[in-house]
Structure 1
């Protein structure tokens, strides 16, 4: 069963039971029927926005509508400018085609041209007037946006560095008036008791949380008892990090669903107290963080990216995590507006200082404990940066800069959380990509087989998918961090608009989104190309009468065409204009004329090899002193694998210009020639018969093949032997050495049975002596012959 099969089912059941009031509220929302604003409407809107902007305000909420209006007007002005400039160019082209006036019109044709020229002149004035108004609107929109941004920065700066009484003043006030504590404690209790809670919405949210908790318990129990070891092993091969996170999700799913559904229900049904929403959201985020950190500290397999934590450190982490969570929850409550009084309560102020200090110290301690178990946390010194920021926040809190403390604390904790999630989203797909390159899991092996990728070969086009994935994760991480550290919604929308529409750099427009989509398209098209190549090679071409070489050529050419089309389509989607590529091609032609002749020569030779097919993949060839099998034919070079399994890269130009011996060009037949010597005194006719019989008895030898049938010859008389020769044609030239060995063994056996001796060199020595007559002694001498 699929690992994620039960989660969508549970969520679907729970979400379908949302109150009908939510759905009815959405359905009752009328569709926007407002007509599109024109230039005059946007101008009036900006004039009204300038008047509202002149009124001094202390809240950024009043500035947000003005910023949105200015942004909409700016977008309309940009569209208007582009349209009017195109219209202006069109009118100018019409005037240029007509030409200038030639005095008084004398003919009917001149009168028509003059009338047409007047119409175009009038149209030109109207377009220029409209273009000027659009540019003025764009200028006003830009000015208002800049003023809104400046006002927001001033308000945020004023809020951020607004100083309240310091911790020392609270302590002194408490020491001077000890009786205030009892009064302030009663005020805190009365505030907590009299909270304006909407108990109906709160009870609904708690019911959703309880339902999620029960569903999570059932699902977790089911998964823990049905998760087979084979599924776990397959998941570990797919991604060890994903396996660790999945195991943590199974263990903590009840709490994740419980807090998540509670927070979601409170978001749509406000409980009346904002602090309750913040508490539920904090618990949900804490559980997500705990799941990720638990997966990192208790990995499913050994990994260089995190080290399993020892039991002593685990206890410390658990202890400080509880302190951190408790202080955060209490801090959210006491930092809410419920306890903002005038004059400020000294007891509440001290509680805020103490809770903020303990929460910061607990987070510093957690970072310090995690630094050895999470290498990337120590590699980039994030724990030091976090500790410095939190210590600065504590100092600001004690000095009375409560808003600055909240800004630093939330920014530090949020940065760590975003970095943790980004690392997870970056790590899991990276491990999957690595597994695809190596074929670790079964589904990865099936996919590689489907794409026709051999063992040890990387998945083509996957590098572009890796690049696009990394760019997307870092872009999302950057946007989240910018929003966390105070970038306004208006600035975020402007930046996203520039990302979508492009950033103008001189005459070049950089469009990051189109580049990302282009990279994704390139990766997908390259993978699709290899899928088509594999289908051609293994299925489609097998149903044709094409030869093996023609099939390989078709597959190779299809692959190159697919790669070229993928690159062109990817560049087109990324926004690269091909007119610029023509300039680059012109520059390359100059380079070809000077230093790239060899590359072009090899390229053209590669095309000749593909179309003419003098050699094919798998052929046994000999090029000079190089002999072996053709392993691969590329555009620039050909790879030959020798008999000792070494690869030799030969430029294609050498295969075209030099002599090449192809043992397998027209067929697989090969010649075997075996010289045989027998001793003097042997019957030549018997030797010829035995040699012919041995040749015809071997199953690999072609017995009758026209003029190339088995042939035996008596070659001549040597010093010590009668020389014969066996010549035969074999079916497969690749078995030449093996057939030669078999024939030699058969010849020796036949000669031994027929008692035909193999010769050895002989010498006749005459010994001269005065006392004894000459004797003839035949002394055998050994002579080593290289039969290889």
Structure 2
């Protein structure tokens, strides 16, 4: 509490100092006071001075608040330090003393245990009707569990499982939980009924505690089987070394049995029936069994080749367990127990959070890759192509990672720091932030801003998809205008996401003029090209001389426009190569757009025939071939096919067939089809397509008698 108050006081001081600085700047802006200054200036000066005095008083209160909270925090810290020193460094009798006392009356422990079970077990508190009721309902719960288990196993057999971590995890959970479900149902039912029946009895009867402990034991055994040796046909979802998982499973089950017995012996009413010295000796013996089992367990991990990099850590943990046992036997039982618990809890939490982290990583990878049907539907809803990453998901990944490992650190620190001072300080920094110069950074607000930014970016894909497929097609806008609206919407949503995130993070927009000034300096020095391309991109989006899907030619680059971004345009050439063209080139240079107003275009086919061919017949054949092609315009909406006799070549009579096409995008294939048809028609009519020929005249022949 004092740490929280101190943090609030720090925030108060920072806030008041900022306000005082702002008021002082306003006062300085009025200049020095002169005798004949205007009444309005004097009035404003007095108002600001009064406001500054009020803020000075408030600042003094905040400073006093901070000093008092710091003093209280110091006193509480000293008291906590004294308390925990006394708690963990207090020394009881060591094991040798306990053993000597036990040997004086070795049968006392057995006698007291028998007396306890006879008088305080709790069974005698139940009448015959209650006993039969408990027995009947437990049997019924087990039968229901058996029925559900059969349904779960049938479901497991019907599912087609894939080789993914998540699916291995789900299958292992399904089969293992199904195996232990009847006994979990029975134990939980018994614990619930006994708790209700013995609710008014204090302390709780041993039989009730036994039922609750049995439920916890079965849940732990189920978790061990699930992680290390799932029920077949499921496989382990972690990549364990062969044989390691089975050994770990067996030793963890032994550890579970020891823990179950220790809970019943030391944390129930049974412990009150044993004399204190015997109870301490029994606890020391129990600690020996626990530590030996833990060392036995960790030795399996030490021998694993996959854990060779952290072998030193595992050996360190084994040494810590041994020291905790030595501390208990020396009489420092609270210290030894706390150290062992904290180390073991840290190790267990590390395994749990690693599993959780891997599950989320696999989930996000599936969402990006479209692994499952629901992932593909999500891609479709957000307008994202398959195998393309979801926009904004990277921020969700980052936020999830921070939350998972932040939670891990919180729990681990809490297990080690019993006073909670570290957690309080950390929480104070996260919630109230910390000061760096004139800036106050609040991590909790930054995390929230990341979440808001990611959610808006992800929703942008859905909004663009709805605009493109559902809303804009119902308007009178042409295709290019609709694409421009969708693109601009994406940029507007990005700006909204950035502004919302900055606002939540605590960014002061009054400093926007400073940012704008810095940007203007940057533009003047080296960002002219970027700004030029940015403005050109806006012109392209609004004027739309080039649209997505158009066939254009820019210089030597020819192809289809794939995407118009705010800085550049991507063109896919006919060789399937992506060419990135800065937007400024599309505005400043000549661009040929074959599909700007309509998709019609002209094709020219050149052909030559041999001298002596019937030219009228050639014209008729070329005209007929053009009219038979379905892509050639013949309805008068464009010029009809035209045959031109272009001239007399060296080897041929040169003709041109000029046709207008419905779809210029299919010009090359149409020219090819017309060429095939011309060749076929000329062959059928006996018209020859010549090739260049030369006559060689030899004036003299070499003398046959001439030497070689």
Judge same fold: TM > 0.5, yes or no: yes
Distance 1:92 1:508 in 2: 19
Q: Among residues 536, 549, 558, which one is paired with 2:467 in the alignment? A: 536
Distance 2:521 2:489 in 1: 29
User: 257-266 vs 470-479, which deviates more?
Assistant: 257-266
Distance 2:356 2:512 in 1: 36
Q: Say if 2:153 is the partner of 1:221.
A: no
**Cα pair 1:639 1:648 within 8 Å, conserved:** yes
Counterpart secondary structure, 1:682: coil
Q: 1:276 to 1:168 in 2, by over 3 A?
A: farther
Partner of 1:402: 333
Q: Among residues 96, 105, 108, which one is paired with 1:180 in the alignment? A: 105
Q: Among residues 173, 185, 197, which one is paired with 1:245 in the alignment? A: 173
Counterpart secondary structure, 1:702: coil
Give the aligned CA root-mean-square deviation in angstroms: 4.5
How far is the alpha carbon of 1:637 from its aligned partner? 1.4
Q: Say if 2:675 is the partner of 1:744.
A: yes
Distance 1:708 1:540 in 2: 38
Partner of 1:654: 585
Q: 1:759 to 1:510 in 2, by over 3 A?
A: same
Q: Say if 2:235 is the partner of 1:306.
A: no
Equivalent residues in 2 for 1:541-560, closer than 5 Å: 541-560=472-491
Q: 1:566 to 1:248 in 2, by over 3 A?
A: farther
Q: 1:124 to 1:691 in 2, by over 3 A?
A: closer
Distance 1:726 1:102 in 2: 94
Distance 1:209 1:140 in 2: 59
Distance 2:466 2:554 in 1: 33
Q: Among residues 86, 93, 98, which one is paired with 1:165 in the alignment? A: 93
For 1:170-205, what per-residue CA distance to the aligned partner results, in whole angstroms no more than 9, with x for missing partners? 44x26xx84421234434544565559698799999
How far is the alpha carbon of 1:386 from its aligned partner? 3.1
For 1:357-402, what per-residue CA distance to the aligned partner results, in whole angstroms no more than 9, with x for missing partners? 2212222333443578896896696534432332222232233321
Q: 1:199 to 1:672 in 2, by over 3 A?
A: farther
Distance 1:767 1:131 in 2: 116
Q: 1:80 to 1:659 in 2, by over 3 A?
A: closer
Distance 2:46 2:561 in 1: 72
Distance 1:132 1:448 in 2: 57
Counterpart secondary structure, 1:388: helix
**Cα pair 1:426 1:473 within 8 Å, conserved:** yes
Q: 1:666 to 1:288 in 2, by over 3 A?
A: farther
How far is the alpha carbon of 1:739 from its aligned partner? 0.8
Q: Say if 2:378 is the partner of 1:447.
A: yes
Equivalent residues in 2 for 1:306-705, closer than 5 Å: 306-307=238-239, 310=242, 313=244, 315-336=246-267, 339=271, 345=277, 347-369=278-300, 383-489=314-420, 492=423, 495-705=426-636
How far is the alpha carbon of 1:709 from its aligned partner? 1.9
Q: Structure 1-normalised TM-score? A: 0.76
For 1:149-170, what per-residue CA distance to the aligned partner results, in whole angstroms no more than 9, with x for missing partners? 2211221122212222333444
**Cα pair 2:165 2:359 within 8 Å, conserved:** no
Q: Structure 2-normalised TM-score? A: 0.83
**Cα pair 2:116 2:273 within 8 Å, conserved:** no
**Cα pair 1:360 1:391 within 8 Å, conserved:** yes
For 1:563-593, what per-residue CA distance to the aligned partner results, in whole angstroms no more than 9, with x for missing partners? 1111111221222222345434432332222
Q: 1:501 to 1:559 in 2, by over 3 A?
A: same
For 1:679-708, what per-residue CA distance to the aligned partner results, in whole angstroms no more than 9, with x for missing partners? 111111111111111111110111254663
**Cα pair 1:198 1:272 within 8 Å, conserved:** no
Counterpart secondary structure, 1:699: coil
For 1:318-367, what per-residue CA distance to the aligned partner results, in whole angstroms no more than 9, with x for missing partners? 4322321222233334445975899952x544432222122122223334
Equivalent residues in 2 for 1:223-302, closer than 5 Å: 223-227=152-156, 229-230=158-159, 233=161, 240-254=168-182, 269=199, 272=203, 290-298=221-229
Distance 1:477 1:188 in 2: 41
User: 287-296 vs 476-485, which deviates more?
Assistant: 287-296
Distance 1:315 1:141 in 2: 55
Partner of 2:704: none
Distance 1:253 1:302 in 2: 16
Structure 2 residues without counterparts, runs of 5 or longer:
702-708
How far is the alpha carbon of 1:658 from its aligned partner? 2.3
Equivalent residues in 2 for 1:110-189, closer than 5 Å: 132=60, 135-171=63-99, 173=100, 178-189=103-114
Partner of 1:63: none
Distance 2:7 2:123 in 1: 42
User: 558-567 vs 371-380, which deviates more?
Assistant: 371-380
Q: 1:359 to 1:609 in 2, by over 3 A?
A: same
For 1:524-574, what per-residue CA distance to the aligned partner results, in whole angstroms no more than 9, with x for missing partners? 111111101001111111112211111111110011111111111122122
**Cα pair 1:464 1:520 within 8 Å, conserved:** yes
Q: 1:476 to 1:454 in 2, by over 3 A?
A: same
Distance 1:86 1:200 in 2: 69
Distance 1:102 1:627 in 2: 74
**Cα pair 1:297 1:373 within 8 Å, conserved:** no
Distance 2:428 2:113 in 1: 47
**Cα pair 1:701 1:731 within 8 Å, conserved:** yes
Distance 1:261 1:509 in 2: 54
Counterpart secondary structure, 2:106: helix
Counterpart secondary structure, 1:528: helix
Give aligned pairs, total.
Answer: 689
**Cα pair 1:439 1:445 within 8 Å, conserved:** yes
**Cα pair 2:445 2:504 within 8 Å, conserved:** yes
Q: 1:529 to 1:666 in 2, by over 3 A?
A: same
Distance 1:229 1:339 in 2: 50
Q: 1:597 to 1:125 in 2, by over 3 A?
A: closer
User: 87-96 vs 234-243, which deviates more?
Assistant: 87-96
For 1:208-236, what per-residue CA distance to the aligned partner results, in whole angstroms no more than 9, with x for missing partners? 98887665444333322344634x54896
Distance 1:766 1:235 in 2: 80
Counterpart secondary structure, 1:668: coil
Q: 1:371 to 1:196 in 2, by over 3 A?
A: same
Distance 2:456 2:73 in 1: 42
Q: 1:413 to 1:164 in 2, by over 3 A?
A: same
Q: 1:254 to 1:153 in 2, by over 3 A?
A: farther
